[in-house]
Amino acid sequence: MLGLMQSQPLLTASLIRHAERHHGDGEVISRRVEGDIHRTRYREVAARARQVAQALDALGLAGGDRVATLAWNGYRHLELYYGVSGSGRVLHTLNPRVHPDQLVWMANHAHDKVLCFDLSFLPIVQAVHRRCTSIAHFVVLCDSNKVPAGSGIPGLQSYERWIAPHPTDYEWPVLDEHAASSMCYTSGTTGDPKAVVYSHRSTVLHALSSALPDALNLSARDCVMPVVPMFHVHAWGLPYAAVLTGAKLVFPGPAMDGKSLHDLMEAEQVTLAAGVPTVWHMLLSYLHTHQLRLRSLRRAVIGGAPCSPAMLAAFRVDHGVEVVHAWGMTEMSPLGTVSAPKHKHLAWPDADQARLTLTQGRAVFGVDMKIVDEQDAELPWDGVQAGELMVRGPWVLCDYYRDPGVSPVTDGWFRTGDVATIDADGFMRIMDRRKDIIKSGGEWISSIDIENVAQGHPAVGQAACIGVPHPKWNERPILVVVLTPGCQASRDDILAYFDGKAPKWQVPDDVVFVASIPVSGTGKMQKATLRDQLKGYRLPGT
Ligand code: AMP
């Protein structure tokens, strides 16, 4: 017997159609590359997305053709999200922070046909466009009078002139929900980048689940600011989940410094913002230096890298902001787990609740996970035994696009490359990336745990813990530190700070002071590069 419910494919266009009909006057605010603040509404975003769809028809693009973007978070990027995918093409968000050679590789690998880019990326496009052999159309996201003369880019036209001739009435096609809607590349530390291709179905399901109260807890009463870029796993899906709920959206554009973020948050009364710890660190330092408060923000979503105890305390104690600690991956659209307490945890003392928030949390509906040993045997959820984390679900990839390598999936489970524990309540704690974990005398040391302790020292601005060779113990941890501007601390001060905060055998053997720690295009510390930089380093006494 079949159910007697209407059958409708899950398509991204349904999100913007819903927002247009039910939240038509919902605001979308953007700080533009030009520096001004632009204001629009869902009604208008939907209409202009339909113009984008017809502009792509007019270029003769077929269903499934790739349209690349190289753009900050803003309303035009949002219109492209919906216009490109909704019309059956595939949105490819390029990350402008990767090396230009990699951009060329990605554009050619994806076989992009169109590139839409922000004015600030003109120099990059000028440098690479000849090598992007499949791109036939270049569109710059600005008004027609802002197109730079003599750019050297053939046929370059403004976004506004490109969409203007097309009417706003257009019927979104009924696509196969399994069709590709978008793609992006992981910035692998070795080898070529790998492409993850999302479907309409996976994107809509991910949006539904990430809006739930125990996930990002989004509603039409929220004002959402995705600080995480729309070129980094779709700003963690917020341009879909926020549109689904009808929340007000605020895009910070290129200005991610503490002052710009704070000004915009206060002016637009942002209630939820999402970003990686490096961005939050900048904002918190700015607020601390200028004795400022976050008056409207209620929830800060922290993901992409671990939230440290010091950052949690700054949000909770100094600003009264709830931290939503989330874990995920490009391969998972990206949301996997969120550190939302359960009813029984509400009676816990503050310190225990904080400890819970510092775990990466429990699986959101739709994601299943397990930890396994070296032989792939499942390990118990006792919060102690650590193993490789594997995940599965309708928004977890089943394979990379056009990749000849070994399948990343075993028996339906995707290997995350993260080492984690899971406790009896299902709270997962990432110990490390498998390649970053430090193996000392047959025991594992979590570099994240060591960094979390170090971050509590007031003079430590940034800290990275890496393993270095040791004749007896195989590897020993050292701490690489960037001092907080204006602060001083010696090696011994910092090591003494670990007393009672970490087991003695896990305390780093040395501290190396550096001016900066290399960070990837998605805001993660690049430990492989750091290890390379410190190749000549020898532990004292070895
Ligand atoms: P990406 O695909 O670039 O978003 O990177 C995904 C990886 O980032 C994960 O496999 C983790 O190693 C790391 N990651 C993401 N979120 C967290 C988190 N909350 N805590 C620790 N590591 C994280």
Cα separation, 66 vs 93, whole angstroms: 10
The predicted-structure confidence for 174-193, as pLDDT tens digits, reads as follows: 999 999 999 999 976 567 89
- For residue 444, what are its two tokens? 């594992």
Q: Beta partners for 463?
A: 481
Please tell me if the CB atom of residue 196 comes closer than 6 angstroms to any atom of ligand 1.
Answer: no
Instruction: Using the mean position of ligand 1's atoms as its centre, give its distance from the Cα of residue 391 in Å.
Output: 13
Per-residue burial over 54-71, b = 16 or more CB atoms within 10 Å of its CB, e = otherwise:
bbbeebebeeebbbbbbb
- Stated pTM of the model: 0.95
Give the position, in ligand 1's atom list, of the atom nearest the Cα of 433: 12
306: Cβ below 6 Å to ligand 1? yes
Q: Is the CB of 330 under 6 A from ligand 1?
A: yes
| C-alpha 460 to ligand 1 mean position (Å) | 22
- Tell me the DSSP string of 430-468: EEEETTT-EEETTEEE-HHHHHHHHTTSTTEEEEEEEEE
DSSP 64: T
pLDDT in tens, the chain (542 residues): 999 999 999 999 999 999 999 999 999 999 999 889 999 999 999 999 999 999 999 999 999 999 999 999 999 999 999 999 999 999 999 999 999 999 999 999 999 999 999 999 999 999 999 999 999 999 999 999 999 999 999 999 999 999 999 999 999 999 999 999 999 999 765 678 999 999 999 999 999 999 999 999 999 999 999 999 999 999 999 999 999 999 999 999 999 999 999 999 999 999 999 999 999 999 999 999 999 999 999 999 999 999 999 999 999 999 999 999 999 999 999 999 999 999 999 999 999 999 999 999 999 999 999 999 999 999 999 999 999 999 999 999 999 999 988 899 999 999 999 999 999 999 999 999 999 999 998 889 999 999 999 999 999 999 999 999 999 999 999 999 999 989 999 999 999 999 999 999 999 999 999 999 998 888 889 999 999 999 889 888 87
Is 418 close to ligand 1, i.e. is its CB under 6 Å away?
Answer: yes
250 CA distance to ligand 1 centroid (A)?
24
Mutate to test the pocket of ligand 1, among 276, 278, 324, 327 (most ligand atoms within 8 A of CB): 327
- Does 337 contact ligand 1 (Cβ within 6 A)? no
Alpha helices (H) in 193-276, listed in sequence order: 200-210, 233-236, 238-245, 258-268
Domains parsed from the chain with CATH numbers: 13-199 (3.40.50.12780), 256-434 (3.40.50.12780), 438-533 (3.30.300.30)
Pairwise CA distance, residues 89 & 325, whole Å:
33
The finding on whether 478 has its CB within 6 A of some atom of ligand 1 is no
State the catalytic residues. 186, 331, 439, 444
Residue with structure tokens 């704070």?
262
Q: Whose CA is nearest to atom 1 of ligand 1?
A: 329
Give the Å distance between the CA of 304 and the centre of ligand 1. 4
